[in-house]
Amino acid sequence: MLFRLSVLLVVVMGCMACGSSDDGDVSCVDYEPQAPRDHLAASPRENETAELLALELSDTIVATPEAYEMVARDLDAIAPSVASIQVYSRDWSSIPMPLELDDEGLKKLKSGNYRAWDCPNEAYGVSLELTKWDNVAVNFGSKRLRRSKLVAEYEALPHVTNLSLALGVVDGPDICLEVVGATRYYIVDRAGGDCQVGCTTHQYTGFEIQSGAVSRIVRETDADWTAWFSARADCASRL
């Protein structure tokens, strides 16, 4: 059960609302988030599957516009093969991340004087909730941000002792993307069975895309499927 601190905990307030505290005056004028603010503001994008694949491809805290637009076009080209397939991201989840503060930080938080996270909270659209166990649930709402990069930034804040990725990923139908040179390889896995404990059936289809068009479709029944699939080492290890 989460207890909202509507007064004590500053939630998604811009730094114009920041003032004096035990941490000193807080100003976000010189704060630089890990991505341009217009990129952050664009998330969540309309096509969730394209955004999550682009996020993994971009290796940035948020999917770049170029990567998102490219992947969205690719998915249009191979539809309906990807219809109703969810991407299980290795670095994103919609569930809150549990953050722990030391005793001094928790005391400041409860008195309304912990301000070290005001600037990243404003930039990333964060809301915070204090739990009955005295840790903080870090919620990024609907934004699709790379959690490992958020963890690195928030764990560097004063009094923060731990921040968990809390991905909560289960097995299920998935899509994987690899890029080699000018070719993009998509592998669609229509997995089934008891996926809560590990899917027991898999039906794979591979797509090669060059210059925005599908250049090849590879299926499990093809003679060269095993060699083709194994060559996609990252996807083969994930799916």
Q: What is the pLDDT of residues 20-35, one digit of tens each?
A: 344 555 678 889 999 9
- The mean pLDDT value for 123-128 works out to 92
Q: What is the chain's alpha carbon radius of gyration, rounded to the nearest angstrom?
A: 21
Binned at pLDDT 50, 70 and 90, residue 85 comes out as: confident
Q: What is the pTM of this model?
A: 0.84
Mean pLDDT of 192-218: 89
User: CA nearest 69: which of 59, 61, 57?
Assistant: 57
Instruction: Note whether 129 and 139 are within 8 A (CB).
Output: yes
Mean pLDDT for the stretch of residues 153-173? 85
The runs of H, that is alpha helices, within 11-130 are: 37-41, 48-58, 65-78, 103-110, 118-124
Structure tokens at 21: 């505290």
| Distance of alpha carbon 32 from alpha carbon 26, whole angstroms | 14
Higher confidence at residue 14 or residue 219? Answer: 219
